[in-house]
Amino acid sequence: MKPLTHPATVAFGLANLYLLDLTGPLISPDHDLIYHLIGSALAVIIPITIYLITLSLLLTALLYIAERPGALRVIIWSAFILALPSILLHTIANFTGNDIPDWVTYSVALVCFLSLIAISILWRKFVPRFEKIQHAAEVILGLFAFTGLLIFAQLFWNGWQAHNLNPAPTLHKAQVNPASAQPRQRIIWLLLDELSHQQLYERRFPGLQLPAFDKLAAQSTVFTQVAPAGMFTRYILPTLFTGIPSNAVDISARGLLVSLKNSSTGKWTPFLQHQTVFQDALDAGYTTGIAGWYNPYCRIMPEVLDHCFWTYREATPANLSPNRSLAVDLLRPFHYLWLDIKHLFGRGPGSPTDERRDIRQHSSDYHKLRVAGDAFLADSSIDFLFLHMPIPHPYGFYDRSKKKFSTKHTSYVDNLALADRYLAHIRKLLEEKNQWDSSTVIVMGDHSWRTSQIWKDSMTWTDEDESASQGGVFDPRPGYIVKLPHQQTPARIDGAFSAVSTRALLDALMHNQLQTPSDLQMWVSQQK
């Protein structure tokens, strides 16, 4: 028997093809999944590697059984081949990020299932044609086994590189000499993910009340023509920190931010934590802190942060959790399968749906960040504080009519109402410590509400989203509001302003160069 068509070789190729949806995110050259894991990468990589080996062994045994000519051979091989369309359709959808309507996937699965039944009954009539198809499939799968070896090697390499992905970071330690320390006005930099200027202050959804944002605007400078630093948080935040315009990032297998692609020059620039606004703050005598979402701030910038917390719970292959034990993760898919089997017989709700998982993850991130942010706000020694919150970013998980967190996806408008509540909460905490008036408060979005770019074609686009966006019309301007210390009157800046200049703005504020709205207006007019 030739090595290429040996049952073990063919089975290994088939197993890798079946499980490409699980292994693909872990071996992706952009390392996006590893970059955002908040727990152990091995807790995800090891179970999937074991699944791959186990499935290969099982398929090898079945292929040995299928070596003898007859009905069993035809049925086994037909089942292997007819399972591929549905599996690959789901894999392609996940890789491309495009939702495939349920009726398409169900129709493909039904056609393949009916075809298998027909072949099982009329297998003798299919034997002549089957022999040709089976031989071609053996060769193709045998060749794919070599790709499987590369996948297996990449899994091993990435697992080794990221085996200690999130150790307790060794943060910078503030060293302040009380005798020589200069009093500094506190800077609170609040980034509300996907905050739209248009939805805040220009075309607010009818009936939507945003009292905290209105109250803020009454004593702040509202920027009305801000050009965002990009479309995706992945590279926007490093851009804001460094002041380098970028449109891509390079992530290592160790989950570290290596470099930024300068969108002006097209060249790659190393990401250096000591060349960020947080180093600027340390140099100016500030104590720095972050409580942030999505980006692994504590992993990529520990040497310039005195206090740090970050979280981001995302969908993982087979819904494996980086925070569970290996034994629990290994059995988790079978636990979900058992829940679904019981559900078929009317016993229990079944395994969690994607919607339930997303709501649980999104709301969990919000609550954890709120707790961490509150602790940092309460510590007045942290006088340069960055808060990155996962609201009003879709999908909605807050019900503004009931004023509570929802069990079903809601709208962007609902999450915007939650953002208003959070802003009011921050203001209340600072006012209780008599720090609101004396603090500089910057509230901004990293980008605007990406209606037609992302969400309009998603499964959770609501009628309210459609109405609020006037049919998905995209307005690129993020919210951007600056309250200077002791400012009591409203102001507007209607000229163009690039969010890439945020680092420069923060540097000017740290050095007390901007005392009044007029100072701010003049400074903005001098920016390129």
Domains of the chain: 3-161 (no CATH), 187-236+278-323+363-525 (3.40.720.10)
CA distance 515 to 509: 8
CA distance 427 to 279: 27
pLDDT per residue rounded down to tens, the chain (528 residues): 577 788 889 999 999 999 998 898 899 889 999 999 988 888 889 999 999 999 999 999 998 998 888 888 888 888 888 888 888 887 877 776 666 666 777 788 888 888 888 878 877 777 777 777 888 888 888 888 999 999 989 999 998 999 888 888 889 987 765 544 566 889 999 999 999 999 999 999 999 999 999 999 999 999 999 999 999 999 999 999 999 999 999 999 999 999 999 999 999 999 999 999 999 999 999 999 999 999 999 999 999 999 999 999 888 888 887 777 777 777 777 777 776 676 667 776 766 677 788 888 999 999 999 999 999 999 999 999 999 999 999 999 999 999 999 988 999 999 999 999 999 999 999 999 999 999 999 999 999 999 999 999 888 899 999 999 999 999 999 999 999 999 999 999 999 999 999 999 999 999 999 999 999 999 999 986
Verify cis geometry, omega within 30 degrees of 0, for the bond prior to 395: yes
Q: Which amino acid is at 465?
A: D
CA distance 194 to 234: 13
Residue 519, classed as helix, strand or coil, is: helix
pTM greater than the 0.85 cutoff? yes
Yes or no: say if 238 and 246 are a contact pair by the CB < 8 Å rule.
Answer: yes
* Assigned token pair, 160: 């080794």
